[in-house]
């Protein structure tokens, strides 16, 4: 169900904790006044402007928007891959101290990614030289309290394909390996940038199902970027981005199972 | 406009990949530079010499005799093929040079009265010729004059046939026969101060040497294309009644022979070495450009998708390769000309030619450039072909992941628990062994070049060490004007500062074995002598056998004699029937074509009552200056060479050569190592950028990622080190073989210290490359990499 647009002129999170889907208090991310400008020679490209946003523990957020609207930029900043031009991003893990990402140096951001963030990209970015199990082990080798690689792969339904190389897996399977690799460290947040962008609808539903399942079973706060509006139905909350701003926010009363989505 | 856009892309690519462009072009530059410099030096010197020989009319056949009446010269001139004969008188003199603290030896040579006649014409550096009848005027050889700071107008004392006289230096000159101003004393480097050539007017020389109306030395000029062998035979038979010592062709003329030896080494450095470098450069260029183009697969596909033809696309990338070669070639030619000038100058210091100028040899330079270009274009071509043969859509769709397999070791079950990151690196290497190998091979080649050529320098130092510290341990070698009774040596013992005296005998001989005839000398030495000893290549001392002869191994091989055979020996000073001397041992020594005998045994052979030619002295070092000065006043002494001076001269000469050649070799090896490692790592980075970025996203730190990439390159370098050292040993052996001559051996010396040093240089180059890579890796734009598909 949609919140009428008139009511969501500016959607911020601090007015929402009480209405949080599963009642988990506290935000994983608190984003304030975030802006990002790329300088390209003489022209400035404003990718993000004045974004305020809270992401709560355990929620599944879908970020909708046309290509170039700033979704990836926002996600990359949240994930510590990129730094904003202005604004702050406060990160508070489930266990541990909260910190301001915008004041972290490159090494601190690396540590942040290593300990708290799981990424899934459109192009799966698996290491071709490593098997599914080894690709996941790449993360579990360096994480603090990971789950076994096999368990992560079972979670995404690939318990039988542990020793297959990426070249021996279909696109959907490769993306599920990528998800297993992202969640094996038991991250605080799972960030997925167009995870179905390179997949057909059938396979896409399967992959989204896995993300949905991980979010439910592990309670990992999850952000899924898509330009595919129907996918929004699987979310707790939907944000729409236009020209670098969050132009619209809505909350689903029920999350539709990804297997029932059509596009 | 289409073409313009593509051109702009070319320029941008060149700029974007400038690190690789520069390091690859530097490899080309090294190869081209060496060819231009070394080959050009050799050609320039050869030209200078040939030109000089022609203009100064260097003889073709040379002969000596005891005393030949002048009219006999006309009979020699009548030998078919002979166009000019130039009879001279020559002899040895002791020279007393003001300011020189040791007795010097001189070779006196008469000058024809007519400056425009005869052979072996003087080229005056300064002053003039001695006037036809002037008895006290001399022209002095340039090297000797320079070493002793003699100028026109100075006077020197000369003892000729026992008579002291003062001669005035009226000219300083050079002549083809004395490009190498040879001393009679054995030893490799001559102390230039201690030996010179004195040209006197014919009259003056004839009377000073007691050879009025006669000659004892003759040079013959032959018509072009005449075979010297029958001429030599005719000369020998005509001169035999006059104590002829055997005619020789140019090849055996001492100065020319040494020059040839020098040129042989120059050929090695001027031909073999540049070719090896060029081959290495070409290999590297091929690999690097091939891989470089291969990383641009997507761009190639995109260009094709836009409608560019295969030809246009190929042309674009070949132009890239061509530009690299062009930049390298221009730099290489410029550096080569500069270096060639430097080298030629070094040789000009040693070789007494009237004019030596470095000239660029366009043919060889062009050859080097074409070879580099061909290698580069071939590498680029294969890669462009590979990319262009893809259908554009296929290439643009991006590669599906490459098919990997578990490591062989894993398949065999040998290893199980490896960190995933390490496994990734190992699988890369196993999956694309050729790529990995190209880095290793490049580095191994660089190391082989470095250790292989440096070993030659080490060998030269080793030779000096063996020669001066083990073999020639005498502080001073004194030579007498002629064989003297044994007392002469004993008298030296009474000079202040002389601690030990060992006399020696040198007997000039001709050795004949089948068609091989060689003029040399037998050295007679005391069997248990402590000063001058028989020493082989490795520095082992061998005893002088009580009877029979010890022959230098290389010389023996040339003559084809073995232990147990007999040498047929003609004594040049005494004449008479040839005698047979049994060969009792071969000595694998470094220099010369020597024959050694115990002094007693030699006495029995010669039969003139134990005469001596000189003595080796051990002296009190503090009294060396007084002693040498004192030797000047001993009438029997015609020359004395101090070991100090010899060692210093050798070191100077070696160090100069080493400074230039050594620096050159090190620089080129570093360039090649840098080219191999930097390009290897750089291309690996572009091939792996995506993976490495993925790792960074997953939370691997910069250090960890750098360690993966550079660790892999480091491992490839480590693998290359032993291979390079083995290759270096092979190269040393090859170069040594090429250097070897009948008169000089080069030991193959594998020095662990030197190898360690060479390895260190190469590793340092690799570390430098790694540092450059590290910077690039740190700046890796994670987001940009992950946004793209492939
Ligand atoms: N590295 C960059 N340099 C310049 N502009 C960029 C860069 N990355 C993104 N942009 C610009 O920022 C805007 C937002 O991009 P992005 O966040 O990738 O959009 P989305 O993911 O919604 O498609 C776009 O206009 C894009 O062109
Ligand atoms: Mg995007």
A27-43: pLDDT as tens digits: 899 999 999 999 888 88
ipTM of the complex: 0.80
- Residue B404 domain-assigned (yes or no): no
Q: Pick the residue whose CA is nearest to atom 14 on ligand 1.
A: A70
Ligand nearest to the CA of A246: 1
Question: Of the residues B779, B781, B783, B788, which should be mutated to test ligand 1's pocket, given the most ligand atoms within 8 Å of the CB?
Answer: B783
User: Last residue of some domain: B348, B370, B399?
Assistant: B399
The pLDDT of residue B392: 60
Structure confidence by residue, pLDDT tens digits, A105-117: 888 888 899 889 9
Residues near B581 by Cβ (< 8 Å), separated by ≥ 6? Answer: B548, B549, B566, B567, B569, B597, B605
Per-residue pLDDT reduced to its tens digit, B332-391: 999 999 999 988 888 887 777 887 888 888 988 998 899 888 888 888 887 777 766 766
Q: Residue B289's pLDDT is what? A: 73
pLDDT of residue A21: 37
Indicate if ligand 1 lies below 6 Å from the C-beta of A40: yes
Chain B residues with CB-CB distance to A129 below 8 A = 402, 404, 423-424, 427-428, 431
* Best residue in B699, B702, B712, B788 for a mutation probing chain A (most A CBs within 10 Å): B699
Residue B486 domain-assigned? no
Tell me, what's the pLDDT at B76? 92
Query: B267 and B296: one domain?
Result: yes
Lowest model confidence (mean pLDDT) among A212-216, B296-300, B702-706: B296-300
A107 contacts on B by Cβ (under 8 Å)? 701-702
Span B709-729, mean pLDDT?
90
Tens digit of pLDDT for each residue in B583-619? 999 998 877 778 999 998 998 888 888 889 889 989 8
Q: Quick one: closest CA in A to B407, which residue?
A: A129
Same domain, B389 and B264: yes
Nearest Cα residue to B70 out of B133, B112, B8: B112
Cα A184 to Cα A151: distance, rounded to the nearest angstrom: 8
Binned at pLDDT 50, 70 and 90, residue B530 comes out as confident
Q: Is A67 in the pocket of ligand 1 (CB under 6 A)?
A: yes
Interface of A with B (CB under 8 A): 72, 76, 79, 81-82, 106-107, 110-111, 113-115, 117, 119, 121, 123, 125-131, 134-135, 137-139, 141-143, 165-168, 174, 181, 185
B421 has a chain A CB within 8 A of its CB:
yes
The minimal CB distance from A125 to the residues B400, B427, B694 is found for B694
Confidence band for B244, pLDDT divided at 50, 70 and 90 = confident
Confirm whether B636 is domain-assigned: no
Question: B190: closest CA among B178, B199, B176?
Answer: B178
Say if residue B235 is in the same domain as residue B353: no
- With contact defined as beta carbons under 8 Å apart, do B521 and B506 qualify? yes
Q: What average pLDDT does chain A have?
A: 86
B533 shares its domain with B546: yes
Does one domain contain both B393 and B259? yes
Does residue B489 lie within any of the structural domains? no
Report if residue B96 sits inside a domain.
yes
Q: For residue B484, is it within any domain? A: no
Report if residue B215 sits inside a domain: yes
Whether residues B74 and B126 share a domain: the answer is: yes
Q: Are residues B323 and B427 in the same domain?
A: no
Of B773, B330, B742, residue with least CA distance to B513: B742
Q: Is the domain of B292 the same as that of B357?
A: yes
A17 band by pLDDT with thresholds 50, 70 and 90:
very low
Query: Does ligand 1 have an atom closer than 6 angstroms to the CB of A65?
Result: yes
Average pLDDT on A8-16 reads: 34
**Pairing verdict, β B498-513 and B516-525:** antiparallel
Segment B452-479, tens digit of pLDDT: 888 887 887 787 788 888 888 888 888 8
Identify the residue with better confidence: A191 or B496. Answer: A191
What is the least distance, in Å, from the CA of A123 to any CA of chain B? 6
Q: What is the pLDDT of residues B141-193, one digit of tens each?
A: 988 898 888 889 889 888 887 788 889 999 999 899 888 766 544 433 467 77
- The answer to whether residue B702 neighbours chain A at the CB level (below 8 Å) is yes
Shared domain for B347 and B425, answered yes or no, is no
Answer whether A184's CB lies under 8 Å from A220's CB: no
Q: Decide if pLDDT at A9 tops 70.
A: no
Its pTM stands at 0.75
The three-class DSSP label of residue B45 is helix
**What is the domain range of residue B715?**
420-473+644-790
- Going by pLDDT thresholds of 50, 70 and 90, the confidence category of residue B667 is confident
Dist. CA A45 → ligand 1 center (Å): 8
pLDDT at B88: 93
pLDDT exceeds cutoff 80 at B211: yes
Number of the ligand closest to the Cα of A67: 1
Q: Across the interface, do A135 and B420 touch by the CB < 8 Å criterion?
A: yes
- Please indicate, yes or no, whether residues B235 and B368 belong to a single structural domain of this protein: no
**Claim to verify: residue B587 and residue B686 sit in the same structural domain:** no
Task: List chain B residues with CB under 8 Å of A117.
Answer: 699
Q: Is pLDDT larger for residue B212 or for residue B287?
A: B212
| pLDDT digits 0-9 by tens, B58-82 | 999 999 888 999 999 999 999 999 9
Ordered structural domains, chain A, with CATH? 58-82+106-260 (3.40.50.300)
Residue listed under structure tokens 């993966």: B708
Ligand 2 is an ion; its neighbours by CB within 5 Å are A 72
Out of B252, B273, B290, a domain closes at B252
Mean pLDDT of A240-249: 94
- The pLDDT tens digits for B377-433 are 888 887 777 766 766 655 555 446 677 877 777 777 666 677 787 888 888 888 888
Query: With an 8 Å Cβ cutoff, are A113 and B699 in contact?
Result: yes
> Tell me, what's the pLDDT at A4?
38
Instruction: List, for residues B411-422, the tens digit of each pLDDT value.
Output: 776 666 777 878
CA distances from A163 to A41, A94, A159, B421 (A): 47, 33, 10, 16
Instruction: Report the nearest atom of ligand 1 relative to the CA of A71.
Output: 22
3-state secondary structure at position B97:
coil
Average pLDDT over every residue of B92-117: 84
pLDDT at res. B754? 86
Q: Is residue B362 part of a domain?
A: yes
**What confidence tens digit (pLDDT) does each residue in B274-317 have?**
777 777 777 777 777 777 777 777 677 777 767 777 777 788 88
Å from B784 to nearest chain A CA? 10
Query: What is the count of structural domains for chain B?
Result: 4
Helix (H, G, I), strand (E, B) or coil at B622: helix
In the prediction, which pLDDT does B394 show?
56
If asked whether residues B664 and B739 sit together in one domain, one would say yes
Indicate whether residue A72 lines ligand 1 (CB < 6 A).
yes
Please say which residue of B399, B432, B455 terminates a domain: B399
The DSSP secondary-structure symbol of A101 reads: G
- The residue length of chain A stands at 263
Ligand 1 in reach of A69 Cβ (< 6 A): yes
In B, which residues are within 8 Å of A76 by CB distance? 783
- Return mean pLDDT, chain B: 83
Q: Which helix (H) or strand (E) holds B54?
A: helix B40-56
Q: Residue B656 pLDDT > 60, yes or no?
A: yes
How far, in Å, from the CA of A67 to the mean position of ligand 1?
9
Q: Report the pLDDT value the prediction gives residue A231, as an integer from 0 to 100.
A: 94
| Percent of chain A topping pLDDT 90 | 56
Q: What is the pLDDT of residue A60?
A: 96
**Confidence (pLDDT) at A29:** 95
């Amino acid at each position: 169900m949609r919140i009428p647009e008139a009511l969501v002129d500016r959607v911020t999170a601090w007015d929402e904790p009480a209405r949080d889907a599963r009642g988990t208090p506290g935000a994983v991310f608190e984003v304030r006044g975030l802006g990002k400008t790329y300088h390209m020679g003489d022209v400035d490209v404003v990718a993000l402007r004045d974004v305020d946003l809270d992401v709560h523990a355990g929620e599944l957020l879908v970020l909708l928007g046309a290509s170039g609207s700033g979704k990836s930029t926002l996600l990359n900043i949240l994930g510590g891959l990129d730094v904003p031009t202005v604004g702050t991003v406060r990160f508070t893990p489930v266990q541990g101290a909260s910190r301001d990402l915008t004041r972290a140096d490159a090494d601190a951001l690396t540590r942040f990614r290593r300990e708290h963030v799981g990424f899934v990209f459109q192009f799966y970015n698996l290491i071709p030289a490593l098997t599914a199990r080894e690709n996941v082990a790449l993360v579990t080798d360096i994480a603090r309290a990971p789950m076994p690689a096999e368990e992560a792969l079972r979670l995404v339904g690939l318990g039988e394909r542990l020793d297959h190389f990426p070249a021996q897996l279909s696109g959907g399977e490769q993306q599920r390996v990528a998800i297993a690799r992202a969640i094996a460290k038991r991250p605080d947040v799972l960030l997925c940038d167009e995870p179905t962008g390179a997949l057909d609808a059938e396979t896409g539903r399967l992959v989204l199902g896995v993300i949905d399942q991980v979010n439910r079973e592990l309670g990992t706060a999850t952000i899924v970027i898509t330009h595919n509006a129907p996918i929004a139905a699987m979310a707790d909350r939907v944000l729409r981005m236009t020209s670098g701003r969050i132009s619209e926010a809505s909350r689903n009363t029920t999350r539709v199972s990804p297997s029932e989505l059509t596009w | 406009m289409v073409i313009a856009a593509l051109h702009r892309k070319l320029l941008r690519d060149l700029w974007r990949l400038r690190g690789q462009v520069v390091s690859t072009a530097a490899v080309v530059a090294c190869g081209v530079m060496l060819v231009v410099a070394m080959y050009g030096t050799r050609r320039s010197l050869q030209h200078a010499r040939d030109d000089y020989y022609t203009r100064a009319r260097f003889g073709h056949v040379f002969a000596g005799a005891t005393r030949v009446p002048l009219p006999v010269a006309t009979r020699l001139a009548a030998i078919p093929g002979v166009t000019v004969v130039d009879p001279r008188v020559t002899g040895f003199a002791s020279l007393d040079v003001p300011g020189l603290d040791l007795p010097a030896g001189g070779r006196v040579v008469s000058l024809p009265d007519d400056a425009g006649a005869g052979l072996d014409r003087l080229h005056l550096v300064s002053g003039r010729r001695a006037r036809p009848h002037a008895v006290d005027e001399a022209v002095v050889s340039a090297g000797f004059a320079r070493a002793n700071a003699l100028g026109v107008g100075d006077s020197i004392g000369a003892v000729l046939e026992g008579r002291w006289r003062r001669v005035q230096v009226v000219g300083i000159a050079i002549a083809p026969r004395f490009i190498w101003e040879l001393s009679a004393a054995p030893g490799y480097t001559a102390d230039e101060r201690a030996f010179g050539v004195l040209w006197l007017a014919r009259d003056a020389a004839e009377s000073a040497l007691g050879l009025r109306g006669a000659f004892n030395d003759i040079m013959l000029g032959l018509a072009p294309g005449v075979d010297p062998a029958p001429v030599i035979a005719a000369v020998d038979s005509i001169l035999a009644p006059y104590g002829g010592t055997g005619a020789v062709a140019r090849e055996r003329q001492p100065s020319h022979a040494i020059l040839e030896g020098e040129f042989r080494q120059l050929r090695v450095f001027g031909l073999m070495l540049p070719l090896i470098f060029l081959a290495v450069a070409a290999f590297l260029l091929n690999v690097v450009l091939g891989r470089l183009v291969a990383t641009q697969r997507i761009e190639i596909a995109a260009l094709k998708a836009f409608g560019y033809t295969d030809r246009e696309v190929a042309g674009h990338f070949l132009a890239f390769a061509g530009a690299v070669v062009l930049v390298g070639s221009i730099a290489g030619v410029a550096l080569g000309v500069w270096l060639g000038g430097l080298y030629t100058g070094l040789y000009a210091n040693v070789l007494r030619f009237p004019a030596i100028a470095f000239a660029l040899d366009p043919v060889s330079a062009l050859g080097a450039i074409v070879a580099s270009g061909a290698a580069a274009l071939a590498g680029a071509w294969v890669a462009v072909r590979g990319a262009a043969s893809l259908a554009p859509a296929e290439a643009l769709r991006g590669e599906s992941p490459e098919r990997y397999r578990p490591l062989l070791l894993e398949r065999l079950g040998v290893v199980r628990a490896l960190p995933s990151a390490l496994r990734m690196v190992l699988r890369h290497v196993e999956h694309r062994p050729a790529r990995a190998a190209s880095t290793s091979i490049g580095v191994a080649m660089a190391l082989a070049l470095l250790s292989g050529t440096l070993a030659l320098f080490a060998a030269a130092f080793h030779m000096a060490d063996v020669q001066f510290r083990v073999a020639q341990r005498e502080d001073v070698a004194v030579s007498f004007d002629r064989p003297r009774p044994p007392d002469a040596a004993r008298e030296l013992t009474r000079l202040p500062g002389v601690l030990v005296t060992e006399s020696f005998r040198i007997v000039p001989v001709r050795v004949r074995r089948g068609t091989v005839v060689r003029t040399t000398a037998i050295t007679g030495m005391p069997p248990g002598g402590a000063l001058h000893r028989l020493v082989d290549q490795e520095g082992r001392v061998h005893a002088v056998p009580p009877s029979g002869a010890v022959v230098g191994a290389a010389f023996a091989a040339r003559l084809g004699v073995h232990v147990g055979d007999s040498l047929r020996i003609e004594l040049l000073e005494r004449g008479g029937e040839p005698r047979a001397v049994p060969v009792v041992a071969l000595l694998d020594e470094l220099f010369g074509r020597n024959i050694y005998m115990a002094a007693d045994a030699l006495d029995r052979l010669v039969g003139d009552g134990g005469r001596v030619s000189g003595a080796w002295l051990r002296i009190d070092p503090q009294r060396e200056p007084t002693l040498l000065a004192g030797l000047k006043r001993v009438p029997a002494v015609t020359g004395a060479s101090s070991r100090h001076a010899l060692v210093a001269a050798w070191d100077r000469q070696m160090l100069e050569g080493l400074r230039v050649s050594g620096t050159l070799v090190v620089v080129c090896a570093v360039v090649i190592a840098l080219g191999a490692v930097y390009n290897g790592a750089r291309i690996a980075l572009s091939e792996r950028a995506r993976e490495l970025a993925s790792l960074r996203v997953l939370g691997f730190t910069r250090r960890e990622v750098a360690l993966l990439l550079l660790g892999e390159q480091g491992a490839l370098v480590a693998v290359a080190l032993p291979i390079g050292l083995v290759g270096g040993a092979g190269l040393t052996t090859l170069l040594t073989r090429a250097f070897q001559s009948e008169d000089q051996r080069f030991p193959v010396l594998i020095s662990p210290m030197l190898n360690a040093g060479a390895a260190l240089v190469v590793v340092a180059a690799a570390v430098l490359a790694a540092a450059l890579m590290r910077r690039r890796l740190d700046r890796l734009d994670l987001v940009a990499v992950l946004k793209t598909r492939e």
